[in-house]
Each structure stands twice: as structure tokens, then as C-alpha cells.
Amino acid sequence: MLDEFLQEARVAYFSMEIALRSEIPTYAGGLGILAGDTLRSAADLSLPLVAVTLVSRAGYFRQELDAEGGQIEHPALWDPARWAAPLGAKVGVRIEDRAVWVGAWLYVIESDIGGRAPVILLDTDLAENAPADREITHYLYGGDDRYRLMQQMVLGLGGVRVLRALGFEVSAYHMNEGHSALLGLELLRHFTYPASELRAGESPYDVPRVRQLCRFTTHTPVEAGHDRFPYELVQRLFCDGGGSGLSAMPFDLAELQQLGGRHELNMTQLALSLSAFVNGVAKRHAEMSARMYPGYLVRAIPNGVHPYTWTAPSFRALYDRHVAGWCHEPELLGRAERIPDAEIRAAHLAAKHALIERVRQLTGIELSPDAPILGFARRMTAYKRPGLLFTDPGRLAAIARQRPFQIVLAGKAHPRDEEGKRLVAQLHRETRALAGRVPAAYLPDYDLALAQLLTAGSDIWLNTPLAPLEASGTSGMKAAFNAVPSLSILDGWWIEGCIENVTGWSIDGAESLYDKLEHTVLPLYYGEPAGWARLMKGAVTINAVYFNSHRMMRRYATEAYLR
Ligand SMILES: *Cc1c(COP(=O)(O)O)cnc(C)c1O
């Protein structure tokens, strides 16, 4: 089963979360969706990658909402045996004073056009391990600092060891965000200078060699967003001076501080120190990262989304008819210009009906196909400002009295993000308060499948982050594949994607959001069908054509992997 993947050297792509498919809840949000799209495109393009992640048997969580919009979190258990094949390899990672054994599963991403990409799921739920250690790979982003650092040790140290044990030849290591930065320490253990070449006091670790092997993609535009651990905790978990053959920490503290930061182990700093190629996920984000970490060259490879995954069935059929080959070569979508308006409208109406039906099933709320749907769904956290749309509910209702529109919302808050949970409850309340004036629904348990329906079935895709905190954002790109224009704050990808009145509209706060909705967006929707169709096509021919993960992976291949 594994043999077909061992024939050639592969790029090892490490990510704490990967959205493999909607039935497998091993992702929390955009980072995991991006990782999944990365691998789906790698499979389509037959790029030699192997992905490494945790099995996350209890997923992120399943979100239920109580009558007041309170978020109830349920484990999202899944059975790896149903989707993946157990692999024989088992490796030890020393944590605190004991060996934690790490096993592995193989999940294969299969492209519709024949390509395949292997994903290794790391699993500590083995009989050899103490009960608490069996849960290290259970809860995605669960627990406290100690739990998270143990997870990162399993991912970084365990992941490299498992790839070796399975017989993979690795041509490069790609860290998707800092969670997997510890893999660099594991590599340093293997690449040392011969003792005879060292002068007294010199470090034996061949840092330049490891840097040549590693690539790092950062996704966080602010210092506070980066994972950091106190060295006291790091030393305790790494069993400093443990002496066993499994010992995870061959370094003294001073050496580690040089690589990972003076006061705390900063995973971004560590990844930067050990990677020859570093990139941000949008132009503005790369510039900000370069300013945050002077001395490092941070390139920009803008994110993209997987064409087939994020295109609704009605649009897949439409593109197949008019621009055959589009999902393998999304550049062809530039030619979608010639699709008759009526066919674009019909494809959109089919996607809109699918969303309306799902809203009815989930909430009992009946939306109309005749009025535009304003869609907004994301991780509910303060910087995404989900409440901005409801700054002045009276004004919203007044705008809707002139020209009706509808609102659909969704999103989970991290279980420890109290502010995020407050926002979920607030939005839930706002939708109820608008009842009878602006039809509005808050859908529970935002996930990949719901995102597919929402980004395709809405008429306008809204995004209101607090600039410059959105590194990229990707849901607006998904909307673009379905001819849905964005109404968004100029931040992240939208700085590059927005051409005013051509691909959508920019806003800079609540006031301009209301003004554009009232004076530009709704009058166009109701008054100028041909103008609206032009805008729908603009989203496809200018944005989907570029913000896709095929273009992104071709760039990673030529600029990062082959260097
Ligand atoms: C695309 C997606 C995201 C990320 O969307 P942003 O626009 O980056 O906020 C988060 N969650 C799910 C389920 C998604 O499909």
C-alpha cells in the first residue's frame, strides 16, 4: 500500500491540521482547509508530497447552539480505521521521564484525474502508552501549554522519525505554520559536524545544512499570534540531560535560545532560523512579516483554494461545458467571459437553492431565492469582527425596507476564546432581533461541507476583519469560484483581489459597509441585471483564475521546493 509512495523522493509537508474531507474533522479553520487544498492540488498536479499531521481522533469539536446562542462543544470523534490504513511503523519520543510511542496511519488523497497524495496520521493511542499519553493526539488545539507542546513534539520529532521508519526519502521539509518547527531540532540531531572538525566550544550542529532542507510558511501577521512556550516547560518536557537514546533535546539552553528566541521558545522564530525559504500568504502579509522579523527574507506566495472542491456542482457542469479542463488548468477560467449571462444566473440559482434548503433544514427559517443573501462565516474571534455588520441594526432594517436582503451566518469559537463565544451568542441574538425585518439565520457547526454551500449559495460574500490582522483569508476565493463577489475590508488577499465594481467592493468600517450596501450593491442587484452578471463573471475571470491552489502549488514547486 505504501510502496507506490516510496519510489521517489518527496517533500514532507507538516501541518497541525488538515481538512482531508468533510467526514474527517481534523481541522479548525482556514489553516487546515489550506493544507487540504494544498494536498488536493499536489495530487492533481502529481507533485511528490507526503503530508504529516496528527490523527486528532476527537477532532476540533462539533458545535451545537442552545436557545440563547450559547456554544455547546461535543467531541467530533472519528474512526481512523474507517478511512485510513494502519502502518507498521512505531517510534518513540521521550517526553518528561518516559517514552511515548507514536504509531501511524496512511490516508490517501485521490484526485479525480488519477494523482494520489499520501498523508501520515500520527497516533499515540497505543496500548504501550500510559492512559494520559494515549490522548496526546486526540484533541486538536486542546488542553494547556504542556499538552500543546507535547503535541508539537509528537508532530515535529515523531513525524520526522516516522517518515524515516517508513522508508521515505525526503527532499525537503515544509512547515505549514510554526506548530511543526520542532522538526528542525530533530534534523539537527542527524546533521552534525564530525568532532575532528570542531574547535573547542563550537556547536556540532550543521545549521546551514538543515536550513537548506527546510521551508516555512508563516500565517500569522501579529507577534501575539505566534505559539510560544516558557523554556522552563520546554526543558521539563524535553527531559534535558535525560541521557536515554530517545532523548529529544540534544541542545543546551543557550543554543536553543539562539534559534528560538531569548526569553521563550517562539515557534515562528525557530522555524525562521531553520528555513532557507520563508514565505507569507499574501503580499501585504509577507511585508508585515519581514518587518516583524528583520534580517529574514520573507517572500509572498498568495494563497489559493482548490478548484474542484470549492466549485458547486452547477458551476462545475457549467465550466465543463464552456471551458473544459478548467479544474486541472484554472487559467482557462479567464475565458469564462463568453458564458451567456442566463447560464451563469441559472448555475447560481441552483447553488442558492441548495443553501436555502440547508438553512431550512438546520433552522426552520425560509429564505427567498428572489432577495440577495449576504453571507458571512468564519472562526468567531475578535479580530474577524463578526459584530461589525450589526453596529446599527436599525439602519440595516431601514436599508432592507427599501430593497430587501437576507443574512446567513456561521462560525465556531475556540473553546477557550470567551470573547469569541460571546460573539457567537451576540450574532445569534441579532439574527433573532431582526426577524420580520431582515430574514437572518445563524447556522450551527460551520465545517467544510457547510462552507461549500455558503460560499456558493450566497449572493454577496462579506468579510470584516480588523486590518492588518487577516493574513490572507480564503473564503472569498471560494466565493469567486462560484461567481459570488466580495464586499470586504481591504486586508489580506482582498488587497490584491479587489477591483472596485469589477470583482466586488472594498469597505473600511460599518459606515461604508452600510453606504455601499444601500447605494451601490443593492441598486445594482435589483436594477441592473446585466451589470450584476458582469460582476459575477469578474469574480471568476479575474479572481478564481488566480487565487487557486494549483497556481499556488506550481509556485511552491518552482520557487520553494526545487531551490
Ligand atoms: C475557508 C474556511 C475557513 C477560512 O475562511 P476565512 O475566509 O479565511 O476566514 C474557515 N473555516 C472553514 C470551514 C472554511 O471552509
| Domains of the chain, CATH where assigned | 10-304+552-561 (3.40.50.2000), 307-547 (3.40.50.2000)
> From the CA of 273, how far away is ligand 1's center (Å)?
29
pLDDT at res. 223 = 80
Contact between 317 and 343 under an 8 Å Cβ cutoff? The reply is no
Point out the ligand 1 atom lying closest to the alpha carbon of residue 34: 1
Query: Looking at ligand 1, which residue's alpha carbon is closest to its atom 8?
Result: 473
| Ligand 1 pocket test target in 61, 475, 488 with most atoms within 8 Å of CB | 475
pLDDT at res. 222 = 81
pLDDT at res. 470 = 95
| pLDDT of 224 strictly over 90 | no
Point out the ligand 1 atom lying closest to the alpha carbon of residue 451: 15
Of 201-205, 364-368, 384-388, 474-478, minimum mean pLDDT range: 201-205
Point out the ligand 1 atom lying closest to the alpha carbon of residue 476: 7
Q: Which residues contact 293 (CB under 8 A, 6 or more apart)?
A: 268, 269, 272
| pLDDT of 193 strictly over 60 | yes
Mean pLDDT to the nearest integer, 166-179: 98
pLDDT at res. 336 = 97
Conformation bin of residue 41: beta by default, left when phi > 0, alpha when psi is -120 to 50: alpha
| pLDDT of 359 strictly over 60 | yes
> From the CA of 348, how far away is ligand 1's center (Å)?
21
> From the CA of 33, how far away is ligand 1's center (Å)?
7
pLDDT at res. 203 = 84
Instruction: Tell me the per-residue pLDDT of 135-147, one tens digit each, with 9 for 90 and over.
Output: 999 999 999 999 9
Mean pLDDT to the nearest integer, 512-540: 98
Contact between 104 and 162 under an 8 Å Cβ cutoff? The reply is yes
pLDDT at res. 199 = 84
Point out the ligand 1 atom lying closest to the alpha carbon of residue 447: 13
Instruction: Tell me the per-residue pLDDT of 82-105, one tens digit each, with 9 for 90 and over.
Output: 999 999 999 999 999 899 999 999
Percent of the chain with pLDDT over 90: 92
Mean pLDDT to the nearest integer, 432-455: 97
Instruction: Tell me the per-residue pLDDT of 227-259, one tens digit each, with 9 for 90 and over.
Output: 999 999 999 999 855 444 444 556 778 889 999
pLDDT at res. 114 = 84
- Provide the CB-side half-sphere exposure for 29 (13 A, CA): 16
CB contact burial 361-384 (16+ within 10 A = b; e otherwise)? eebebebeeebbbbbbbbbbbebb
Point out the ligand 1 atom lying closest to the alpha carbon of residue 473: 8
With a Cβ cut-off of 6 Å, ligand 1 is lined by 29-30, 33, 378, 446-448, 451, 473-475, 478
Instruction: Name the nearest CA neighbour of 346 among 321, 314, 375.
Output: 314
The angle formed by the CA atoms of residues 18, 256 and 416, to the nearest 5 degrees, is 40
Of 209-223, 309-323, 448-462, minimum mean pLDDT range: 209-223
> From the CA of 30, how far away is ligand 1's center (Å)?
4
Contact between 396 and 389 under an 8 Å Cβ cutoff? The reply is yes
Mean pLDDT to the nearest integer, 379-388: 95
Instruction: Name the nearest CA neighbour of 273 among 231, 214, 220, 186.
Output: 214
| Residue 226 CA: distances (Å) to CA of 185, 264, 299, 525 | 18, 11, 19, 42
Query: Looking at ligand 1, which residue's alpha carbon is closest to its atom 3?
Result: 30
| pLDDT of 171 strictly over 60 | yes
User: Which residues, listed in sequence order, are joined to residue 118 by a DSSP beta bridge?
Assistant: 108
Q: E strands along 347-413, which residues?
A: 373-377, 406-410
pLDDT at res. 281 = 98
Query: Is residue 322 helix, strand or coil?
Result: helix
Query: Looking at ligand 1, which residue's alpha carbon is closest to its atom 13?
Result: 447
Q: Which residues contact 458 (CB under 8 A, 6 or more apart)?
A: 352, 355, 373, 374, 375, 408, 479, 484
In one-letter notation, the amino acid at residue 543 is: N
Query: Looking at ligand 1, which residue's alpha carbon is closest to its atom 5?
Result: 475
| pLDDT of 507 strictly over 60 | yes
pLDDT band at 204 (very low <50, low <70, confident <90, very high): confident
> From the CA of 199, how far away is ligand 1's center (Å)?
51
Instruction: Name the nearest CA neighbour of 542 among 341, 330, 327, 344.
Output: 330
Q: Is the dihedral of CA 154, 160, 164, 169 positive or negative?
A: positive
Contact between 286 and 298 under an 8 Å Cβ cutoff? The reply is yes
CB atoms within 10 A of CB 2: 18
pLDDT at res. 242 = 47
pLDDT at res. 248 = 52
Contact between 488 and 370 under an 8 Å Cβ cutoff? The reply is no
Q: E strands along 82-212, which residues?
A: 85-95, 98-110, 116-123, 170-176
Point out the ligand 1 atom lying closest to the alpha carbon of residue 478: 1
User: Which residues, listed in sequence order, are joined to residue 228 by a DSSP beta bridge?
Assistant: 266
Contact between 352 and 373 under an 8 Å Cβ cutoff? The reply is yes
| pLDDT of 462 strictly over 90 | yes
Contact between 155 and 122 under an 8 Å Cβ cutoff? The reply is yes
Percent of the chain with pLDDT over 70: 98
Mean pLDDT score across all residues of the chain: 95
